[in-house]
Structure formats: structure tokens, C-alpha cells
Structure 1
Amino acid sequence: MNNYRKILVTGADGFIGSHLTEELVRRGYDVRAFTLYNSFNTWGWLDECSEEVKGKFEVFTGDIRDPYGVKEAMKGCDAVLHLAALIAIPYSYHSPETYVDTNIKGTLNVLQAARELGVAKVIHTSTSEVYGTAKFVPITEEHPLQGQSPYSATKIAADQLALSFYRSFQLPVSIIRPFNTYGPRQSARAVIPTIITQLVSGTKQIKLGTIHPTRDFNYVADTVRGFIAMLESENGIGEEINIGSNFEISIGDTVKLISEIMNINVEIITEDTRVRPEKSEVERLWADNSKANRLLGWKPEFAGREGFRLGLERTIEWFSEPANVSKYKASRYNI
């Protein structure tokens, strides 16, 4: 524990944000969860949070694109963990402007408010997609940045904007760069929930896009631990830090491992609508996580093939609960 007692988490209603909010509360932090305002009065995945943390965090509903609401939400906070973003790659192909508004302008709102309010630490969330297809592996933080989709381009811009506030105004910014996080509550726009929800629904023919690309999958508990390690360390200011498992596996082999765990024989059907444009597809991701270990003392608990299998088992268990999988539309392609 450190002096950052009051924490604002933007994107707290999302997959990683909800898990992070819960863990911060468990660790004794005073958390203000920034969720997207909507007329249904829902708080996203925070509506499904663990009983032990219900009612133990504050909720602020707003829109990351609105600078006034962002600043109001940040008042009285010592640190901000900025996760709010649009992240689906296919959606960014036809609606790029909303990615600029949310990912770039939204980040600017967070940085400007933090500067004006004198916030003691800002953790900005990046993504491994900023690297594009690996030019060398494992990928270190010195790897060139390549905008291979409008989504990744906006994340590159947001990262650079965050670093510019550190360099120009000495704003205490750290950039966390998770590789492909998976686990309970993940959207079916991601490949692992896409596979599992189709299998749980009873189909044995899995519709996917390209299956030869490789990914470095991170179980969500490891990603959350990465955020908290960065929050509690003084070593990450002005730094970009990968949070990855340092284990590479193809989409096709991921399907095989999931089908093995679930004891189901699977046929993969490649669906053209799920295939990214050739130059937009990120062919290979494999994280070098040595900087996170050196600066933050972080290393994955779900490491290597065995760690990945354990994380998948926990994910499958969650998706196998009827109350959970009922929230997903397994028959539809989620972009």
C-alpha cells in the first residue's frame, strides 16, 4: 500500500476494469469507478461483481469523451487508472472517428484533468496491437510502432499523447501495455470467448477468422496484478511496460487446447467476414516481460503452456455457467 488512497478507474464497467476495481477494493483502496452513462442505469460488469465488494466502491457515470465529466470524476483522487477505450478492431474499420473521439480525445481529457488537479499518478492503458506484426521476438518496449488498424493507430496516438504530458509538463504518467488478456467476462469480440461460447452452446463447428497468427495470452488476474504493481511502484514513471506471459501460441493451437479441456471434437470453419484485411492482420505477438519484472517486480502466475491451460480452465468454468453464457449471443459474429 502507498499514498494513493483514492483511485479513479476509468472503463471500470468493462472486462479488465471490473476485475481491477474488485481487486483494488479487496486490497483496501478507496475506489471511484467511472462507468459509461446510459439510460438503463447499468454499470456494465460491475453489476455482476463479487458479493464481498458490492457497495464498497463509489460509481461515477459519465462519458470519457466529455472533459467536464472526466474532471469532475477525478476530483479528490490521488491516482487514475485509465482503461476506458473502444477496443474492437473490426468496428474501427467502419467507424474510425468514434475511436479518435474515445481513445485519443478521451485520453487527452484524462491527462488534462490530472494535470489541472495535480493527480499524483496516471496509469494509461496501451495494447500490444501498437506493435503490429512482430519484426523481432520476443517483443520489447523498443519494438517499432505500427498502426495496422484504425484502432491501433488511435492507441499509438494516445500513448504518445500521454508521454508528451510527462515530457512537457512532468505529469507522472506510466504506460502499461497488456498483451492479449482473456478470462471471465471478456467480450465475445475476442477469440477465446468466441470459441468457448460456440462450444458451450452445443455447436462442434467453430466459425473463426484466420487461425495461423500467434498471440501472447494473459490471464486477467495477471493483468490486474500488473496494474497494481505499476500503481504501487515508483519505478514506472515515464515508462512503457509490457505485461505479457512470454508464451506464444497460434489461434489454431488455442482451439485445440480448449477443445481438449472441454473434451469436444471441433471442426474449424473459416468465415470470410471474420478475416481481417491482409495488411491489417497482426500475424505474430510474443511479449518480452523482463522490463516489468525488473522495474515492477511483476511476473505472470499463469505462465507457459501449463499456466495458459489453467487460465483456460477457469475461463471455461465461468462461461459454462448458464447464467453467464446467457449474456452472450454465440450465434452472431461480434465485431
Structure 2
Amino acid sequence: MKKIKVVVTGGAGFIGSAVVPRLQKGGYEVHVIDNLSFGSRSFIDVEDNCFHLMDIRDKDLISKTLTEINPDILVHLAAIHFIPYCNQHPFEASEINIRGTENLLAAAKNCSNLKKVFFASTAAVYPISDLAVSESHTLLPLDIYGLTKLTGEWLCEKFNAETGKDTIVCRFFNAFGPNETNPHLIPEIENQLREGKRVLSLGNLTPKRDFIHTHDMAEAVWALLQLENIGVETFNLGRSIEYSVTEVVEAFSKILEEEVKIDVDPTRVRKVERMHLLADVSKLKKFTGWEPKHTLEEGIKDLINNWK
């Protein structure tokens, strides 16, 4: 029986390094496209002929490569997604997150075997809200990153309208786990603790976020890819539990069995900040039966065990 062939852009990155082995476990032939600007070849176990070192901004090379591979499924994870970096480099973020997505979808139209596209969007497309947000919530990005991803969603809807191919838009909430490549909250805490610090230099302490482990995310991606004949659908991907920065630090402290204090660094404080960002994932569960399995505490314990 012929293996299902899937291309994962950004497959050597943070979330990609969890998604790729899950697809391999499911029996897929996985090809990875990555320029290694943030990811690492060592994060994934794929044959050299299935690893394609290239930039999604290179329209001609992307078109040639996708046509040659002719995948059944395209999973598009590649992006610049660290919000402060996107705000500081808006044109680069737009080139990669919008133009790169446009290049991939244009190339995908020429893949005769293609049946499905999966696009990694973000919770940053939502406005400030004190309640859990569902997929039908008003969309109003607060930053360049959210704006580029919302544009990507529109490109996906256009792709579906033009091709009729199943198109899944998945809005990721706050991911955590191994192989993090950006200085988000949990890796920043982890790095400072690994350096021996027990008084952490952090910014805003009270905002709450919906943290979901990358292994749970990979299971959700797998479950969504099993859906058939769904047209274009959008799903939130979070855990529906939110934690403040202080609560995350307390979890590290408890697992380390050491007192960990916080020193607020004014240079790290964001002037515009959401107090809450919580996912309503009832639609994802209804469509797939997926349930998250990794708690925040379990994920932090794994991180600590790995560096200890």
C-alpha cells in the first residue's frame, strides 16, 4: 500500500519537531522544508532525501520542490512567530508569513496528488477578551504577527475556494515543550534557572495564558489530518486552562523543590498586554475526539529532568 506523502514546512522547528515524529508514527512519508533560521536539523529524524533546505520566500524553488514531491498533504508551520521580533521587523515578518504562505499555496495548486492543506495560525488573531474565545469570536489582531497570520487565513480560504481542496486553519495558543527556539516565557524561565539563578528577571507577571504541550499539539494535528471532506474549517488549539507568569514560576519552584523569586525588569515589561488569552476548544474536541494529556506541571517536570 502506498504511503501517504506529507510535506511539513518549518518541520525542524519547535512545534515541527513534535509534529514530524507523530506523522511518521502514523505511517506517513514525511518531507521537511526548513531554512534552519530557527530550527535545527538535529531535532528531527528524516532521511537526507526527505529534508529540503530552502526558504519559503524562494517562489521558484518552492514550486519546483513541491511539484517534484507531489504530496498528498501540506502542513504549513514555517513562520516568524516571536511577537517582539515581528514588531521590530515588520517587513521581514510579512515577507515570510504572508508572501511565503502565498508561494506555498500557489505551488500547491500544481500538485496533482494534493488532497489537504493544514495552516498553523495563531490566537493572536483575536482581540483582548476576558473570556475564553471560540472560533466565531471577533477577529482583531493587536500586533504584526497576528495580522500576518490573519492574512494567511484569508489566503487559505481563497485557496479552498479556487481548488476545492480540504483546508484546515488551526489557531495555536501558547505552546511549550522541548526544542523551543524563541525566548518565550517558559524557556526564558528555564534558561535562567539552568544558569543557577533563583531570582528571575521577568516582565509582566499577571497576564494569564493557555499553555499547551507540543506533544498534545502534535496529536491534535494528527487528528485533524484524519478529517475528510470538510471544505475549509478553523479550529482553536489550546488546553482551556490559563496560568499567570507567577503561577508558572511557582510550578518550577515546586518541582525543583527550591525557592524561586521574581525581580520585575522594566525593560521586559510590555506596555500593551492582554490579561487573558484562553481557548475554547470544544469544536476541536467535537470534530476529532481529541483530549490533551500533558499538564503544565508534567511538561515542566520533563523539561527540568532533561536539563538535569
TM-score by length of 1: 0.85
Q: Does 1:290 align with 2:282?
A: yes
Structure 1 stretch 67-76 or stretch 198-207: which is displaced more? 67-76
**Superposed, which structure 2 residues align to 1:42-121 within 5 Å?**
44-49=39-44, 53=45, 55=47, 58-75=50-67, 76-118=70-112, 119-121=114-116
SS in 1 for 2:109: helix
User: 1:232 and 1:47, CA in 2 relative to 1: closer, same or farther beyond 3 A?
Assistant: same
Query: Displacement, 1:170?
Result: 2.3
- List per-residue Cα deviations over 1:62-109 (Å, max 9, x = no partner): 101111222223222111100000011111222100011000111111
Is the contact made by 1:126 and 1:175 (CA closer than 8 Å) also made in structure 2?
yes
**Match in the other structure for 2:143:** 149
Would the aligned equivalents of 1:74 and 1:80 in 2 still touch at CA under 8 Å?
no
Query: Residues 293 and 299 of structure 1 are in contact (CA less than 8 Å); yes or no, is this contact kept in structure 2?
Result: yes
| Structure 2 counterpart of 1:326 | none
Task: Report % sequence identity.
Answer: 31
Match of 1:184 among 178, 187, 192: 178
Q: Partner letter of residue 118 of structure 2? A: I
Give 2:303's aligned amino acid.
T
- The more displaced of 97-106 and 250-259 is 250-259
Q: How far did 1:4 drift? A: 7.1
Cα deviation 1:198-247 (Å, max 9, x = unaligned) = 11210111111101111010011000011111111126531110111111
Q: Match for residue 30 of structure 2? A: 31
TM-score by length of structure 2 reads 0.93
Runs of at least 5 residues in structure 1 that lack an aligned partner in the other structure: 322-335
Distance 1:217 1:262, change over 3 A: same
Secondary structure of 1:222's counterpart equals helix
Shift of 1:37: 6.2
Q: Which amino acid aligns with 1:191?
A: L
Counterpart selection for 1:132 from 105, 127, 135: 127
The corresponding residue for 2:227 is 233
Check whether the contact 1:133–1:284 (CA below 8 A) recurs between aligned residues: yes
Report Cα offsets for 1:229-285 as digits up to 9, x if no partner: 11111265311101111111111111111111112212212222222232xx23211
Letter of the 1:88 partner, please give it: F
Instruction: Give the secondary-structure state (helix, strand or coil) at the position aligned to 1:116.
Output: coil
Q: CA deviation at 1:3?
A: 8.1
1:54 deviates by: 5.1
Q: What pairs with 1:241-256 in structure 2 (closer than 5 Å)? A: 241-256=235-250
Match of 2:212 among 204, 208, 218: 218
What CA distance in whole angstroms lies between the structure 2 residues aligned with 1:44 and 1:187? Answer: 7
Q: Which stretches of structure 1, 4 residues or longer, exceed 4 Å deviation after superposition?
A: none
Structure 2's unaligned 5+ residue stretches are none
Offset at residue 56 of structure 1 (A): 8.2
Q: Is the 1:230–1:236 contact (alpha carbons within 8 Å) kept by the matching residues of 2?
A: no
Match of 2:201 in 1: 207
Q: Is the 8 A contact 1:36 1:62 kept in 2?
A: yes
Cα distance, 1:48 vs structure 2: 3.7
Q: Shift in Å at residue 188 of structure 1?
A: 4.4
1:123 maps to 118
Amino acid corresponding to residue 299 of structure 2 in structure 1: G
- Secondary structure in structure 2 of the residue aligned to 1:32: strand
Report the number of matched residues. 305
Report what 1:331 is aligned to. none
CA distance, structure 2, for counterparts of residue 171 and residue 114 of structure 1: 10
For residue 301 of structure 2, what is the amino acid of its counterpart?
E
Counterpart of 2:125 in structure 1: which amino acid? Answer: V
Post-superposition CA distance 1:3-51 (Å, at most 9, x none): 870100000121111221122122221011111067xxxx9333144xx
